[in-house]
Structure 1
Amino acid sequence: MSTRHLNQKQLAERWGISPKTLERWRWLGQGPKFLKLGGRIAYRLEDIEAFEEQQLRQVTGSAAAASPTPAVPHQSAWPEQTPRRIGRSVPA
């Protein structure tokens, strides 16, 4: 018995999402389990299928229904905790 793996690009293609989305999910602790082998990311097919199974829904209008992607709060490019520097402040 051999375990089949998909890399980030293959999984992104399977789900029709950006590879960057998978990177963000890993950083946030969302999405399917993954392996990091010699600096490369791999997803076991059994973990992918388990994650897909968890995302199955029967009703879309119910409060219990969720989207097919993990519930990740919207992350803007500039989180509010990050101070923005619009211009230089000049000491008086």
Structure 2
Amino acid sequence: MSLKVGVFIVIEGIDGAGKTLHSKNLCLQLHRKGYLARYTAEPSGNVIGRLLRREFLNRRKAPPEVETLLLLQIVSNISDRR
């Protein structure tokens, strides 16, 4: 069994710049070309997202507990979209 190398594409910008629109369109185009693509978003609007944002803005390095919350949120986002 051979493993395929994936790519993680990040689109950044200010609020209202069209990040969601362009991200979803890119995902759609990749699907049409036969690629497996998955749209995800950073956790920013929920309780964990607000906690993470506050911790990362107030520190250079987040404590292990905050990094763990971030990883759990990412896994949750991925599993929710399957």
TM-score, normalized by length of structure 2?
A: 0.24
Higher share of residues assigned strand? 1
Higher share of residues assigned helix? 2
TM-score, normalized by length of structure 1?
A: 0.22
User: Which structure has the bigger radius of gyration?
Assistant: 1
